[in-house]
Amino acid sequence: MTTTNDTTATATTATARLDYARTVPKVFRAMIALDAAARAGLDPALVELVQMRTSQLNNCAYCLDMHAKDARKAGETDERIYLLPVWHEAPAGVYSERERAALALAEEITRIGGGVSDPVYARAAAHFAEEELAQLISVCFTINTWNRINIATRKTPGTL
């Protein structure tokens, strides 16, 4: 691992540690099934936004790369992808109120230290029916798990 002069920035130059899918195929298949179940019934573009934002927060380059590509294939605009790290400050109309509620919830689930606040939960509940909200929460914990798997195994962006 190499570091820059800024002690907060590091760059990993090591190769992948193991092939997770090959090493624990039952767990991997279970994760694939969980991921599919979590996203069922939700707008695919919203799912990609949530997965990209969570991957940004977790510094998971592999997942961020994959979900940005998937978002583009699904018709997502460069503007919305580029502004995602600063969605709070993005001009009105770039992200809908429903998307903003989902992103706020995803951030608090990812930064679980203080839990999910009542205002953020209520905001999400105002924009999502109960089943959709449960699905959204499931997408959040699933992408957090994928991020941790891919970071731990040093999965390389752009590889399968």
For the chain, the 3-state helix, strand and coil shares in percent, each to the nearest 5, are 70, 0, 30
Say how far apart CA 9 and CA 58 lie, in whole Å.
Answer: 14
What is the tens place of the pLDDT at every residue in 86-134? 999 999 999 999 999 999 999 999 998 889 999 999 999 999 999 999 9
- Number of helices (H), then strands (E), belonging to the chain: the values are 8, 2
Per-residue pLDDT at 159: 81
Q: Among residues of the chain, what percentage have pLDDT more than 70? A: 91
Residue 47 pLDDT exceeds 60: yes
How much is the pLDDT for 7?
39
- Write down the residue that tokens 């909200």 correspond to: 133
Q: What is the pLDDT of residue 17?
A: 87
What whole-number distance in Å separates Cα of residue 52 and Cα of residue 65?
A: 8
pLDDT on residue 13: 58
Tell whether pTM > 0.85: yes
What pLDDT score was predicted for residue 3? 40
**What is d(CA 47, CA 39) in angstroms, rounded to the nearest whole number?**
7
- Cα angle value 142/144/148 (rounded, 5°): 115
- How high is the pLDDT of residue 114? 84
pLDDT at 15: 78
Question: Mean pLDDT throughout 133-146?
Answer: 98
Pairing of strands 10-11, 2-3: antiparallel
What phi, psi does 13 have (nearest 5°)?
Answer: -110, 0
CB 60 within 8 A of CB 153: no
Where residue 14 falls among pLDDT bands split at 50, 70, 90? low
Average pLDDT over residues 63-76: 95
> In which element (H, E) is residue 118 found?
helix 118-127
Tokens of 117: 């606040």
User: Within 10 Å of residue 63's Cβ, how many Cβ atoms?
Assistant: 24
Residue 69, Cβ density class (10 Å: 0-12 exposed, 13-18 middle, ≥19 buried): middle
Predicted confidence (pLDDT) at residue 59 exceeds the cutoff of 60: yes
